[in-house]
Amino acid sequence: MLTTTKEDISIIYEQPFLELVSKARSIHQQNFVDDIELCQLVSVKTGGCPEDCSYCSQSNSNQSEIKVNPLLPLDEVEKVVLEAKTKGVKRVCMGAGYKTPNTSALSRVNEYIGVIKKHGLESCATLGSLTMDQANELKAAGLDYYNHNIDTSPEYYSQVITTRTFQDRVDTLTNVGIAGIKVCCGGILGLGESRADRVSFIHALTCLPTAPDSIPINMLVKVPGTKLANVEDLDKFELVRVIATVRILFPKTRIRLSAGRLELSELEQSMCFMSGANSIFYGEKLLTTDNNHQDSDKNLISKLGINANG
Ligand code: SF4
């Protein structure tokens, strides 16, 4: 990618809304047929996380009520994989609330990867920070994607998380890229960040050591008991502006309209697809929060007249 400054990105982001969407749509059409990639999330280990991400119900620092679960048995993960396959899902994404996985957790995840690959689906994991050795081990087990979000701008990062730095995130992403695993990296909007932070977040995505193959854009789901439970709502025009700007800067990357879709009407979601989003989490549960009912998703995809999983 050509070097793009924050000022360049700001000019793209701040242009009149309809011009921005129109430009993003035209770039999207040059690079993709209209389709939606379906991914399934499964929380393989829930809660008890030592990190203090202020949006997350799994953090030990937040007071949310969630069911803490140790690593799932292999047959439970296989059940999820088989159901996902029947529904036409392309990738299974495993999430575990760790600062970094220990040796036995990593071995178990390697077994999960084996099961996903055995059934012919793509595998993705999000397990916290990884050393070079850990990334190599996951690559050897057949992992296709590693998700590690930068969450927000480097400037706003310490307002949201204090138990790690923005650079820690980039270091893991460097290891993932060197190991030859595809990078899935995006962020969350509506954390109380400014528009300048959103521009800076997009700029940080363009500066990653390995360009992401997949960019999840989440809208904060306010969970009671978390520090951001009462933050001001995001103006949804900002969500569309972020998606459109990311599409213009990453013409060939899948953009996943991730958490927060339940807060969007069908037309608002359609506006996001119009602006470049072409991937969703399919299934009623995200890691700990609810997701859209799959019948509603099927219905919306049919109303749009597009294919799932291109
Ligand atoms: S977002 Fe991930 S790292 Fe942060 S507290 Fe939640 S589970 Fe832990």
**pLDDT tens for the chain, residues 1 to 310:** 557 999 999 999 999 999 999 999 999 999 999 999 999 999 999 988 898 899 988 888 888 777 778 899 999 999 999 999 998 899 999 999 999 999 999 999 999 999 999 999 999 999 999 999 999 999 999 999 999 999 999 999 999 999 999 999 999 999 999 999 999 999 999 999 999 999 999 999 999 999 999 999 999 999 888 889 999 999 999 999 999 999 999 999 999 999 899 999 999 999 999 999 999 988 777 677 777 788 888 899 999 999 887 4
- Is the CB–ligand 1 distance for residue 59 below 6 Å? yes
Closest ligand 1 atom to 56 CA: 6
Q: Quick check: CB of 49 below 6 Å from ligand 1?
A: yes
CA of 199 to the centre of ligand 1 (A): 24
Give the ligand 1 atom nearest the CA of 49: 8
Atom 4 (ligand 1) nearest CA: 53
Q: Is any atom of ligand 1 closer than 6 Å to the C-beta of 128?
A: yes
What are the DSSP calls for 89-117, one per residue?
--EEEEEE--SS--HHHHHHHHHHHHHHH
How do the domains of the chain map onto residue ranges? 6-303
CATH of domain 6-303: 3.20.20.70
- Where are any strands of DSSP class E within the chain? 35-45, 91-96, 122-126, 145-147, 182-184, 187-189, 214-219, 254-257, 279-281, 307-308
Please tell me the pTM assigned to this model. Answer: 0.94
160 CB within 6 A, ligand 1: no
Catalytic residue set: 49, 53, 56, 93, 124, 184, 256
List the residue whose alpha carbon is closest to atom 5 of ligand 1.
59
* Gap between the Cα atoms of 100 and 85, Å rounded: 29
How far apart are the CA of 174 and the centre of ligand 1, in A?
20
Residue in 44, 51, 62, 185 to alter for ligand 1 test, most ligand atoms within 8 A of Cβ: 51
